[in-house]
């Protein structure tokens, strides 16, 4: 019974602990020498081919690393921090089903965004080239914006106090009272320009475009096969890749060592194995014990009732006493007297 009544389970114990944040978001290190091709390759490995994501990033956010004061052994830690992200607001300017190539020029007018929108733009022109025309031509314009979002970050840290030894980002809870704040960085123009100008080799020779455009097409084809050139599919793939590219770039380039390391209070969650009671088994056992208790009470009440066993003799002597003055006994005695025995 004990083997069914008890079992082992992990119980989480939370304690408050300091965390050191040695780096801050300054946004100064991205320049012409930064390897955008390597950044895009990392993004494609995770978003398109579902590879293992590097530490301190998600598909949307990059986080400044932190390290606990005391050593952790593959435990969770939650710290209030900032998540830095890049977001695209995309609009389809036009979508043309067919453009004949025998025309020397075509003109398509669209409204100017105005000076309030600034000069920052991420654009994508996509279409299918055939022998005599361009088909499914789509032009998408996107306005990028950069944000700092406060929240509670929960990570699993490896058995080390070094901030780079992170196993995974478990959760980033943004349900705080403080709203996200715009957070531009100094080298944003170089970053956005590099997205358009970085080239790469396409093994399939099906896509003619920059490396970022090739990956947008690959993600769109994976997300919605056969409809990868639809404007909605391209816009979604473009937004996902832009956010992921900014997160990887920020984690590797924009976070720099601070002159004075920050200190934040975090919650350390330690799993420990404990012996617990199995509720279904304990409930069934309690039910049996309750029934037995009720039966005992009923039995004590029942034995106090009048019984014929107390009024009549019991055993062989009782039977003899009953038969002593009975008709059968007299007949037996009479027969014995007649026989002379």
**Could you please report the per-residue DSSP string of 106-131?**
---------GGG-S--EEEEEEEE-S
Which of 218, 250, 273 lies at the terminal end of a domain, its last residue?
273
Say if 288 falls within a structural domain: no
Say if 281 falls within a structural domain: no
Q: Which pLDDT score is estimated for 223?
A: 93
Q: Which pLDDT score is estimated for 201?
A: 75
Residues 258 and 330 placed together within one structural domain of the fold = no
Residues 12 and 73 placed together within one structural domain of the fold = yes
Give me the number of domains the chain comprises.
Answer: 2
Q: Alpha-carbon distance 142 to 88, whole Å?
A: 6
Say if 296 falls within a structural domain: no
Say if 146 falls within a structural domain: yes
Say if 107 falls within a structural domain: no
Global pTM value: 0.72
Please provide the distance, in angstroms rounded to a whole number, between the alpha carbons at the two ends of the chain: 68
For the chain (length 341 residues), average pLDDT per consecutive 10? 71 83 78 85 93 89 86 80 93 72 56 55 84 79 92 80 64 84 84 88 75 93 90 94 95 85 83 78 84 86 67 58 68 67 54
Residues 201 and 338 placed together within one structural domain of the fold = no
Which residue range forms the structural domain that includes residue 320?
313-341
Q: Which pLDDT score is estimated for 241?
A: 96
Residues 220 and 82 placed together within one structural domain of the fold = yes
Q: Which pLDDT score is estimated for 117?
A: 52
Residues 167 and 37 placed together within one structural domain of the fold = yes
Residues 222 and 319 placed together within one structural domain of the fold = no
Residues 199 and 86 placed together within one structural domain of the fold = yes
Q: Alpha-carbon distance 53 to 140, whole Å?
A: 28
Q: Alpha-carbon distance 259 to 169, whole Å?
A: 26
Say if 102 falls within a structural domain: no
Going along 101-209, which residue ranges are E strands?
122-129, 133-157, 166-173, 181-182
Tokens representing residue 183 in the block: 């957070």
Which of 273, 297, 329 lies at the terminal end of a domain, its last residue?
273
How many alpha carbons fall within 13 Å on the CB side of residue 336?
7
Residues 169 and 257 placed together within one structural domain of the fold = yes
Say if 104 falls within a structural domain: no
Q: Which among 290, 192, 210 has a CA at the least distance from the CA of 246? A: 192
Residues 192 and 84 placed together within one structural domain of the fold = yes
Q: Alpha-carbon distance 61 to 58, whole Å?
A: 5
Say if 293 falls within a structural domain: no
- Residues counted in the chain: 341
Residues 269 and 320 placed together within one structural domain of the fold = no
Residues 75 and 155 placed together within one structural domain of the fold = yes
Which of 244, 273, 302 lies at the terminal end of a domain, its last residue?
273
Residues 341 and 249 placed together within one structural domain of the fold = no
Q: Which pLDDT score is estimated for 301?
A: 78
């Amino acid at each position: 019974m004990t083997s069914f009544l008890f079992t082992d389970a992990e119980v989480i114990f939370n304690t408050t602990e300091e965390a050191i944040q040695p780096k801050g978001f300054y946004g100064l290190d991205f320049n012409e020498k930064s390897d955008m091709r390597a950044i895009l390759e990392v993004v494609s490995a995770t978003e398109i081919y579902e590879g293992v994501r590097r530490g301190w990033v998600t598909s949307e956010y990059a986080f400044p690393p932190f390290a606990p004061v005391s050593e952790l052994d593959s435990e969770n830690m939650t710290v209030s921090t900032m998540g830095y992200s890049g977001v695209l607001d995309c609009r389809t300017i036009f979508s043309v089903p067919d453009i004949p190539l025998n025309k020397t020029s075509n003109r398509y007018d669209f409204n100017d965004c105005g000076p309030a929108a600034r000069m920052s733009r991420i654009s994508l022109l996509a279409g299918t080239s055939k022998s005599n025309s361009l088909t499914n031509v789509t032009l998408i314009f996107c306005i990028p914006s950069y944000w700092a979002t406060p929240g509670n970050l929960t990570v699993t840290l490896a058995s080390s106090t070094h901030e780079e030894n992170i196993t995974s980002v478990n959760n980033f809870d943004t349900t705080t009272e403080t709203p996200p704040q715009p957070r531009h960085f100094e080298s944003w123009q170089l970053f956005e320009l590099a997205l358009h100008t970085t080239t790469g080799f396409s093994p399939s020779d099906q896509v003619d475009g920059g490396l970022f455009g090739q990956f947008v097409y690959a993600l769109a084809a994976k997300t919605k096969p056969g409809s990868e050139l639809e404007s909605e599919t391209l816009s979604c793939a473009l937004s996902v890749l832009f956010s992921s590219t900014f997160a990887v770039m920020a984690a590797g380039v924009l976070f720099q060592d601070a002159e004075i390391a920050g200190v934040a209070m975090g919650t350390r969650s330690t799993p420990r194995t404990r012996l617990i009671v199995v509720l279904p088994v304990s409930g069934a056992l309690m039910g049996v014990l309750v029934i037995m208790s009720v039966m005992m009470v009923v039995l004590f009440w029942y034995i106090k009732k009048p019984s014929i066993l107390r009024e009549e003799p019991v055993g062989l002597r009782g039977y003899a006493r009953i038969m002593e003055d009975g008709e059968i006994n007299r007949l037996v005695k009479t027969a014995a007297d007649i026989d002379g025995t």
